[in-house]
Amino acid sequence: MFDRTTLPYGVFSTGDGPTRIGVAVEDGVLDLAAHLGPAFERPSLNSFMAEGPQRWAEVREQVRGLAQTADLLHDVTLHLPFEVADYVDFYASEQHATNLGRMFRPDGDALLPNWKHLPVGYHGRAGTVVLSGTDVVRPCGLTLPGPEHRASAKLDVEVEVGFVVGVGSELGKPVPTGDFADHVFGMVLVNDWSARDIQSFEYVPLGPFLGKSFATSISPWVVPLDALDRVPAPVQDPPVSSYLEVDGDWAFDLTLSLQRNGTEVSRPPFAGMYWTAPQMLAHMTANGASLRTGDLFASGTVSGDEVDQRGSFIELTWNTEFLADGDVVTISATTGSGRYLGEVTGRVLPAPQ
């Protein structure tokens, strides 16, 4: 349950009524269109996000007051909170990258030579980003032995944190780390479902494709940046290039929880991620690529030093156990100070016959 200080934004409807913007307050929803006017009678957050930090701050101050006194709605249907423009997935956890490197390159270096010089990432499929609660159909693809086209036997999850761009940027002009809060509206939780057997056969030499693009689930509420706790970021060695330097080297202090069929199996800590959110944004635009309102970029699997802090089943079981049809996976998060930040959930359905 959200408290009265987090105040995340989402999109909802009631009955046959129009879709509009709301804010989660404890166990209810504050209808912004009813209290702040028709500008919030929107099917997504995109228009509001594009207005920028000054407008976000003004509305948030109004919402803080309304949250104490206004009537809340309780019987609502939640919708995808924003129209996804582009989707980028990073590989920012040193622990996760090291675990997979040791698994698949036991006789070589766990980390590839580029890993500590830049946030490794790839472009995903924006059109298959789905709302929490959407069932995920087990994908089919070419796998070994064979190769043969069959249902994935190694369906996995990836516990991730995503960031949503509100204000775009100009093509040809990189966005520096210090401008992070001028562009990024807020945070969502992400489950970037992965078919490990499909991925392992197809990914050389160009990286993830069908093994990842079938579904990416996100939470229905976008948490504003100022609701997130900050802590010092891990030390980076060797020193990063100047465009990746961050004033103060801060990180978001979040603790994630991975549940399978109602049982918690892992608690990955986000504060320990090697690459931070401002660095991901700066690297994403370092070549002059522009940002668009609704861009989503995710951290990649969040994993910690301990076995019970790993953010995927391939790590938790060392490539021996994966998801079964009917499994329900839920990822939730709290701040370092213990405030709830929402959840993203999904159920696995069998592959098409």
Q: Is 269:351 a contact under the CB 8 Å cutoff?
A: no
pTM of this prediction?
A: 0.97
Name the amino acid, one letter, at 347: R
> pLDDT 10s per residue in the chain (353 long)?
899 999 999 999 998 889 999 999 998 999 999 999 999 999 999 999 999 999 999 999 999 999 999 999 999 999 999 999 999 999 999 999 999 999 999 989 999 999 999 999 999 999 999 999 999 999 999 999 999 999 999 999 999 999 999 999 999 999 999 999 999 999 999 999 999 999 999 999 999 999 999 999 999 999 999 999 999 999 999 999 999 999 988 999 999 999 999 999 999 999 999 999 999 999 999 999 999 999 999 999 999 999 999 999 999 999 999 999 999 999 999 999 999 999 999 999 999 98
Q: Of 134, 130, 33, nearest to 82 (Cα)?
A: 130
The values of phi and psi at residue 184, to 5°, are -95, 125
Residues labelled as active-site residues: 96
Give the start-to-end residue ranges of the domains of the chain: 9-79, 87-349
What is the per-residue DSSP string for 147-199?
A: TEEEE-S-EE--EEEEEEE-S---TT-PPPGGGHHHHEEEEEEEE--EEHHHH
Q: Of 20, 16, 24, nearest to 33 (Cα)?
A: 20
CA-CA distance, 28 to 1, in Å (whole number)?
9
The secondary structure of residue 343, as a DSSP letter, is E
Q: How many CB atoms lie within 10 A of CB 206?
A: 8
CA-CA distance, 317 to 307, in Å (whole number)?
9
Superfamily of domain 87-349: Fumarylacetoacetase-like, C-terminal domain (3.90.850.10)
The class of domain 9-79 in CATH terms is mainly beta
Q: Of 220, 218, 200, nearest to 209 (Cα)?
A: 200
Q: Is 187:252 a contact under the CB 8 Å cutoff?
A: yes
